[in-house]
Structure 1
Amino acid sequence: MEPRRELGGGPATVTRVAVVVLVAASGSVEAISFTALDHVFAGVMTSNLALLGMAIGRARGTDVAAALLALAGFGAGAAVVAWVTHGRAESGVTWPPRVMFCLAGEAVLLAVGAGVWAASGGAPGEMARDALQCGAAAAMGGQAAAMVAAGRAAAPTTYLTGTLATYIVRGLGSASARPDGWVPARLGALIAGAAAAMTLRRAAPTWAGVLPFALVTAAMLIAAGPLLVPRSAPDGPSEG
C-alpha cells in the first residue's frame, strides 16, 4: 500500500508529506511507550507478541499483562476504525473524510494521554501507565487501520519492516522496478520522532506527551490542504 507517484507538488505529494509526519508521530509514541510504559511497543505488534512469549517463558506476570494490554488496545483501535470506515480502501490521492475523522479521534486520544502524562509530572504510576499504554496502543491501532482505509493515498506508518524490505528488493533485487523515493524520508522520520521524544523527555519531561498529539495534528492539517483549495471552474467559451 503506497501512495500514487506524482510529479510536482500536487495533492498526492502533499499527502506523502502528511504520511511522513504521521510516521514521526509513531516514532515518538513508540519511544515513550517502550521507555516509560513497561517496555512494550504501542504499534509494533510483532515485537509485542515476541515479548509476550518471552514473558510467559520467564513466568513474569507483569510483563505478560503489559504485552496483553498493548495487544488489546491496538486491536480495539483498529476495530473501531474498521467499523467507521466500513473496512473499505479508497483509491484517491487524498485522505477521505472518514479517514480524517478517525485521525481526529486518534489526536483526541493522544491529547488525553498527554494530559494524564503532564498531570503525573512525566512519571506516571502503575495504574496510569497501564491506561496510557492501552490508550497509546489504541491510537496506533487506529492510525494503522486509517492508513489501510486511505488506500493508495497512504502507506504504513506504524510498522516499516515490510517497507524497508520492499525498498531493498526493488532497489537491489529488481532491474525493472524503481524503489519508492519517499521510503528513506519515512524511515528517517521514524528515527527523528523517537529522537525528539527522548530529547523532550530529558529537557521537559512533563510535556513529552504533547509531541505525538502535535505531530498527528500537523499531519492532518497538511493532508487537509488539498481538500480546502477550491477547484478551478472549467473555462467557458470565449466571447467576442
Structure 2
Amino acid sequence: MEEHTEPGESPGRAMRIAVVVLVAASGAVETISFTALDHVFAGVMTSNLALLGMAIGHGGGTGVASALLALAGFGAGAGLVAWVTHGRTGVATHWPPRVMFCLIGEAVLLAVGAGFWAASGGAPAAVARDVLQCGAAVAMGGQAAAMVAAGRAAAPTTYLTGTLATYIVRGAGRARPDGWVPARLGALIAGAAAAMALRKAAPSWAGALPFVLVAAATLIAARPLFLHRSAAAARRT
C-alpha cells in the first residue's frame, strides 16, 4: 500500500521545511549565546576554536574557559546522540524514531534553559551564564549529530559555511539550483534577527524562541514518520 499525502505536501518537502526551521533555531541560539553568554558560539565550533586561539594569544583566561566550555558541551551533545542513534540508517522520506527522540530531548533541554533565562530576566549572572552556555552547546551538538544520523532526509543546521560554498561551486552552472539552500541561509538570518529583536523588546522571552522553533520542526517532521509507520502497518495486515 502506498503512502497517501496531500498534493504538494510530500514527506520530502516536510523534511526540508523541518530542516529550515531547525536552522532558524540555530540562528536564535547563536545570537543569544554570542551576545549574552560570554561571546562564544553554541554550534559553530570552528569559530570557537579560533576564539580559543585568540584568547590564548591574548592571555585571557575567561575567554579560554568560555570557549572550552562550549567545545565540551557540543562534544557531549554530539557524542550522546551518536550513541543513541548508532547503527540506524537514515532514509530520504522521514527521520528515524531515534532521531526524533533526540530532537525531543533537545527541545526539553532548550525549554529548561528558557526557564532559567526567564527567571534571570534575560540577564543571567556569571554562573548561570556558564550553565546556559554549556546547555546551549549540548543542544546544538545533539542537533548536529541528529542531522548526520538522519542521513539523506536532513542537512546541516548548525554550520552552513560548507553549504554556502557547495551551493556557489555546484549551483553556479545549474539552470535550476537548489532553492532550499537559500531558504536555509535566510532562516539562519531570520532566526538570529528574531532573537535579537526579542532581546531588545522582551528580554525575558528571548530564551523561549529556540525551544519553540525546535518543537515546531519536530512536529513538522513527525507527520512523514507517522505516514511511513501507517503504511508499514497496512502492508502487514
Q: Same fold (TM over 0.5)?
A: yes
Amino acid at match of 2:206: A
Could you tell me which runs of 5 or more consecutive residues in structure 1 were left unpaired when the two chains were aligned.
1-6, 235-240
User: For residue 223 of structure 1, what is the aligned residue in structure 2?
Assistant: 221
1:17-32 to 2 correspondences below 5 Å = 17-32=17-32
Output the CA distance in 1 between the equivalents of 2:88 and 2:46: 24
Correspondence 1:130 to 2:130: yes
Report deviation, 1:152: 0.2
Report deviation, 1:170: 1.2
Report deviation, 1:231: 3.4
Is the Cα contact below 8 Å between 1:170 and 1:178 reproduced in 2?
A: no
1:1-240 to 2 correspondences below 5 Å = 8-86=8-86, 88-172=88-172, 174=173, 179-229=177-227, 230-231=230-231
User: For residue 4 of structure 1, what is the aligned residue in structure 2?
Assistant: none
Larger Rg, first or second structure (1 or 2): 1
Is the Cα contact below 8 Å between 2:147 and 2:157 reproduced in 1?
A: yes
Report deviation, 1:33: 0.3
Deviation readout 1:28-71 (Å, 9 max, x if unpaired):
00000000000000000000000000000000000000000000
Structure 1 residues 87 and 126: alpha-carbon distance in aligned structure 2, compared to 1, 3 A threshold: farther
Is the Cα contact below 8 Å between 2:96 and 2:225 reproduced in 1?
A: no
Q: State the Cα RMSD in Å.
A: 1.7
Is the Cα contact below 8 Å between 2:93 and 2:224 reproduced in 1?
A: no
Deviation readout 1:108-165 (Å, 9 max, x if unpaired):
1101100110111100000000000000000000000000000001000000000000
Q: Alignment partner of 1:231: what SS? A: helix
Q: Alignment partner of 1:56: what SS? A: helix
Report deviation, 1:9: 2.5
Q: Alignment partner of 2:231: what SS? A: coil
Output the CA distance in 2 between the equivalents of 1:228 and 1:166: 32
Output the CA distance in 2 between the equivalents of 1:38 and 1:89: 37
Output the CA distance in 1 between the equivalents of 2:217 and 2:189: 17
The count of aligned residue pairs is 226
Amino acid at match of 1:228: F
Report deviation, 1:194: 0.3
Report deviation, 1:181: 1.6
Output the CA distance in 2 between the equivalents of 1:121 and 1:42: 21
Is the Cα contact below 8 Å between 1:89 and 1:148 reproduced in 2?
A: no
Moved over 6 A (4+): none
Amino acid at match of 2:216: A
Q: Alignment partner of 2:63: what SS? A: helix
Output the CA distance in 2 between the equivalents of 1:219 and 1:73: 22
Report deviation, 1:226: 2.0
Is the Cα contact below 8 Å between 1:15 and 1:94 reproduced in 2?
A: yes
Output the CA distance in 2 between the equivalents of 1:69 and 1:87: 29
Is the Cα contact below 8 Å between 1:11 and 1:226 reproduced in 2?
A: yes
Output the CA distance in 2 between the equivalents of 1:12 and 1:54: 42
Report deviation, 1:89: 4.0
Of 88-97 and 64-73, deviating more is: 88-97
% identical aligned pairs: 79
User: For residue 3 of structure 1, what is the aligned residue in structure 2?
Assistant: none
Is the Cα contact below 8 Å between 1:23 and 1:190 reproduced in 2?
A: yes
